């Protein structure tokens, strides 16, 4: 836990000076944007973890995998929501996760600009700190018709968009945007369901302990446990009673 928080602190120190500055964005091979803040923040996290946990593997979005043979693996996303970061929106975050194989052990969602931080660990209640208010605990909402649904963008859904639209037609409201910050809000009971596609391990590894420790659950679109070699389709629900209805709506038709 101390190592995870130290890594998040190191990333925040790099990211904050660049926020709402003149940051140039390059395009990666998958056409997603990347900035000097992404790269330097990941390097700062790696330096901390190499010092504190030299026996662990490290997988990061920007610089790949070291020590693939290690059973314990840190999984890092320096800026989850680079598009939001580039456009000055504070709905992004730094993700620090620790996996034992496919099983999540530790997760941090850190918003370095607003000063909000969610800390999760297997078997422990999630903790939250920040100046904007909010209390950890997912919202009781077993009725899909009353649920608040969120997804980062329709573009990420690709050919799964019609399935998502079926689900969106059965909930109270649907919102776009948020990246990892939306998962933090779900852990605070502000959002009930998040359904997304094309998430990589560095996008979801840190989220699972945070959501679980707040009372929710994160699965794939079949309601099964996420795997590093999975298809990247993710469901998060605050009230576990919603999961079956969400899975059914996505599979209908």
Q: Residues with Cβ < 8 Å from 45, sequence gap 6 or more?
A: 7, 8, 10, 11, 60, 76, 78, 94, 96
* DSSP code at position 140: P
Q: Is the pLDDT of residue 157 over 70?
A: yes
Question: What class is the 2-129 domain?
Answer: alpha beta
Quick one: pLDDT at residue 175?
A: 96
Q: Is the pLDDT of residue 233 over 90?
A: yes
Quick one: pLDDT at residue 73?
A: 98
Quick one: pLDDT at residue 30?
A: 81
Where does 144-251 sit in CATH, by number?
3.40.190.80
Quick one: pLDDT at residue 23?
A: 87
In the chain, which segments carry CATH 3.40.190.80?
144-251
State pTM to two decimals.
0.96
Q: Is the pLDDT of residue 252 over 80?
A: no
Mean pLDDT of all residues in 42-68 = 97
Q: Is the pLDDT of residue 253 over 70?
A: no
In the chain, which segments carry CATH 3.30.540.10?
2-129
**Burial (Cβ within 10 Å: 0-12, 13-18, ≥19) of residue 86:** buried
Mean pLDDT of all residues in 36-44 = 97
Mean pLDDT of all residues in 122-137 = 96
Quick one: pLDDT at residue 29?
A: 82
Q: Is the pLDDT of residue 179 over 80?
A: yes
């Amino acid at each position: 836990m101390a190592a995870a928080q130290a890594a998040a602190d190191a990333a925040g120190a790099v990211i904050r000076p660049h926020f709402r500055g003149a940051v140039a964005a390059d395009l990666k091979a998958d056409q997603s944007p990347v900035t000097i803040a992404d790269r330097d923040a990941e390097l700062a996290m790696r330096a901390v973890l190499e010092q504190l946990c030299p026996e662990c593997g490290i997988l990061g979005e920007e610089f790949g995998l070291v020590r693939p043979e290690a059973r314990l693996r840190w999984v890092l996303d320096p800026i989850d929501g680079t598009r939001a970061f580039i456009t000055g929106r504070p709905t992004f975050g730094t993700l620090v996760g620790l996996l034992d194989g496919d099983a999540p052990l530790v997760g941090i969602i850190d918003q370095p600009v607003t000063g909000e931080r969610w800390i999760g660990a297997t078997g422990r209640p999630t903790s939250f700190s920040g100046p904007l208010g909010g209390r950890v605990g997912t919202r009781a909402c077993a009725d899909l018709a009353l649920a608040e649904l969120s997804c980062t963008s329709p573009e990420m859904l690709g050919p799964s968009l019609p399935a998502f639209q079926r689900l969106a037609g059965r909930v109270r409201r649907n919102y776009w945007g948020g990246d990892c910050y939306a998962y933090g809000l779900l852990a605070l009971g502000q959002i009930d369901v998040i359904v997304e596609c094309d998430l990589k391990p560095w996008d979801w590894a840190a989220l699972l302990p945070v959501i679980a420790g707040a009372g929710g659950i994160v699965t794939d679109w079949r309601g099964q446990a996420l795997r590093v070699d999975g298809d990247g389709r993710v469901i998060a629900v605050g009230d576990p009673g919603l999961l079956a209805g969400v899975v059914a709506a996505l599979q209908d038709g």
